[in-house]
Structure 1
Amino acid sequence: MTILITGATGHLGGAIVAALQQRQPISNLTLGVHNLAHATKYQQAGFQLRQIDFHNETTLQQAFQDIDLLIYVPSKSHDSFSRVTELEHVITAAKASHVPHLLAMGFMADQANNPFDLSAFYGYLPRRLASSGLHYTILRNALYADPLAPYLPELIDRGHVIYPVGEQALSFISLADSAEAFATVATTPALLEDGRTYTLTQSQAYTMPALAEVLSTVSSHPINYEPVTLAEFEALYDADHEGHMLASMYAGGAMGLLDEVTTDYETITGHPATDLTTFLQREWSNKH
């Protein structure tokens, strides 16, 4: 079975590659990368690399030749138009290359009324795949838990969580757990069900006071909840021009659109996802 993973040099893509290595020989794994210079470690480890440009269907068709499964991790762009255009090129190339099955990354902020900047793309993804004629499966992630660990020093200094979501809750999954689910579905025919969507979450969602309590326990510092406004949050975290995108995501959270909890992860792997406290304690102790 030949599996091609896009975004292999990114956070989730790299974690999926690592998880697949536990289940498949390297000879079965092909990595689609935009910049080959960023994949030197993979090349040295013996992986086959194929250069791709999401906006060039010719390179995509060449990369998608003779593969059994395409794991599509979207590129990191901040607007839905770019990602929808990218997806259209992926679908066209996958059909031209006769890709048997596509396993795609989704995100739970995909509701029709969600103000998140990328919700249009994540809502478009399942609908477009359903009309594409391709065989596909979608793994729909909750919020990544991983950024909370490096964010902790700032929260300790502030003394409070500032996410502008009011009384609503947020649901999380770690990159490692998401990657395990991707690798398990990719290598288990019974789970790689055509048209199936799984939603990957931990076993509970957290209100902001509950999240603050977890962060206090992990850091051994008192942290409470004092939200800022959406405009203030956008201004605080706009150094990389991501402020509006992040604020729009938490605007969806304030509407109760990011609190979904499912048992899909346990269905896939046979065990619950790592709970938030355990995950953060491990990450925090590794750094300190």
Structure 2
Amino acid sequence: MRYTITGATGHLGSAITEQLLTQTDGHQIRLAVHTVQKAAKFQDSGVEIVPIDFFDESSLIKAFSDTDVLIYVPSKSDQAFARVTELEHVINAAERARVHHLLSMGFIADQVNNPFALSPFYGYLPRRLAGSGLSYTIIRNALYADPLKPYLPELIERHNVIYPVGDQALTFITLADSAKAFAKVAVTPKLLKNHQIYTLTQSRNYTMPQLAALLSEASHAQIGYSPVTLAEFEAMYNQDGEGHMLASMYAGGALGLLNEVSDDYQTIMGHPATPLAEFMAEN
């Protein structure tokens, strides 16, 4: 089997590569990346590293050739149009390269009424794949729990969680658990079903007072819940121009669109996802 992974130098793509190396020989893995030098840490594992440009289909066709499972991790972009255009190039190239199966990353903010700035891409993804000639599987991630750890000192200083989601709940998955599930699905034929969509979440969701209580216990500090407005949140976290994207995501959360809970992780891995309390207590 030949596995090709896009985005292998990013957080999720890199973690998937590491997990896949525990499941199969490195010589069966090809990393399709923008900057070959950034993937140097994997060279000793025997993986093949090839350059791609998501907007140059010839580079994609070359990278996707002789691929049994293409693991598509989208590039980082806060523009839905750019993501959709990238997807079109990936699908066209995968069809022309005769990729046997495409395993794609999705996200739970894909509902038709979700105001998240990237919701158009995540909503378009399953519809476009359904209309393609490709065999495909989608794994939808919940919110990553990982940013909560570096964010914790700021929350301690503020004495409050400030996410503007009101009385609605959020659900999480760790990056490590997501990567493990991707690798397991990729190498397991009975899980790699055509048209299958999995949703990765922990076994429960959290309202903001519940999240604040958990973070208080993890940090041994008193943290409450005092939300800011969406406009305030956008202004506070507009570094690199990402304020609108982040605020729009929590606008979806305020509508109850980020609270989904699924047992798909247990179906894939045979055990529940790492609980948030356990994850926050690590290190």
Question: After the TM superposition, which parts of structure 1 deviate over 3 Å for at least 4 consecutive aligned residues?
Answer: none
Task: For residue 46 of structure 1, report the CA deviation from its aligned partner.
Answer: 2.6
Task: For residue 44 of structure 1, report the CA deviation from its aligned partner.
Answer: 3.8
Letter of the aligned partner of 2:146 in structure 1? D
SS in 1 for 2:265: helix
**What is the rounded CA distance, in whole Å, between the counterparts of 2:234 and 2:48 in structure 1?**
41
Task: For residue 67 of structure 1, report the CA deviation from its aligned partner.
Answer: 1.1
1:48-63 matches, cutoff 5 A: 48-63=48-63
Q: 1:280 maps to what in 2?
A: 280
Q: 1:25 maps to what in 2?
A: 25
Q: 1:213 maps to what in 2?
A: 213
Which consecutive unaligned segments of at least 5 residues does structure 2 have?
none
**What is the rounded CA distance, in whole Å, between the counterparts of 2:109 and 2:162 in structure 1?**
20
**What is the rounded CA distance, in whole Å, between the counterparts of 1:200 and 1:12 in structure 2?**
14
**What is the rounded CA distance, in whole Å, between the counterparts of 1:185 and 1:53 in structure 2?**
26
Q: Deviations over 1:45-76 (max 9, x none)?
A: 43210111101100000000111110000000
**What is the rounded CA distance, in whole Å, between the counterparts of 2:29 and 2:238 in structure 1?**
37
1:192-203 matches, cutoff 5 A: 192-203=192-203
Task: For residue 43 of structure 1, report the CA deviation from its aligned partner.
Answer: 2.2
**What is the rounded CA distance, in whole Å, between the counterparts of 2:114 and 2:84 in structure 1?**
17
Letter of the aligned partner of 2:117 in structure 1? D
Q: 2:16 maps to what in 1?
A: 16
Letter of the aligned partner of 1:68 in structure 2? D
Q: 1:79 maps to what in 2?
A: 79
Q: 1:176 maps to what in 2?
A: 176
1:102-251 matches, cutoff 5 A: 102-251=102-251
Identity %: 64
SS in 2 for 1:262: coil
**What is the rounded CA distance, in whole Å, between the counterparts of 2:239 and 2:92 in structure 1?**
35
Task: For residue 281 of structure 1, report the CA deviation from its aligned partner.
Answer: 0.8
Q: 2:65 maps to what in 1?
A: 65
Letter of the aligned partner of 1:259 in structure 2? N
SS in 1 for 2:239: coil
SS in 1 for 2:211: helix
SS in 1 for 2:78: coil
**What is the rounded CA distance, in whole Å, between the counterparts of 2:51 and 2:196 in structure 1?**
29
SS in 2 for 1:273: coil
SS in 1 for 2:140: strand
SS in 2 for 1:138: strand
Q: 1:47 maps to what in 2?
A: 47
Q: Deviations over 1:197-228 (max 9, x none)?
A: 00000000000000001100100000000000
Letter of the aligned partner of 2:94 in structure 1? A
**What is the rounded CA distance, in whole Å, between the counterparts of 1:194 and 1:44 in structure 2?**
33
**What is the rounded CA distance, in whole Å, between the counterparts of 1:136 and 1:189 in structure 2?**
12
Aligned residues: 283
SS in 2 for 1:4: strand
SS in 2 for 1:84: helix
Task: For residue 251 of structure 1, report the CA deviation from its aligned partner.
Answer: 0.1
Q: Deviations over 1:236-269 (max 9, x none)?
A: 0001111000000000000000000010000000
TM-score between the two structures when normalised by the length of structure 1: 0.97
Task: For residue 111 of structure 1, report the CA deviation from its aligned partner.
Answer: 0.3
Letter of the aligned partner of 2:66 in structure 1? D
SS in 2 for 1:37: helix
Task: For residue 24 of structure 1, report the CA deviation from its aligned partner.
Answer: 0.4
1:257-268 matches, cutoff 5 A: 257-268=257-268
Letter of the aligned partner of 1:187 in structure 2? V
**What is the rounded CA distance, in whole Å, between the counterparts of 2:270 and 2:239 in structure 1?**
41
Letter of the aligned partner of 2:279 in structure 1? F
Letter of the aligned partner of 2:141 in structure 1? N
Which consecutive unaligned segments of at least 5 residues does structure 1 have?
none
SS in 2 for 1:212: helix
SS in 1 for 2:240: coil
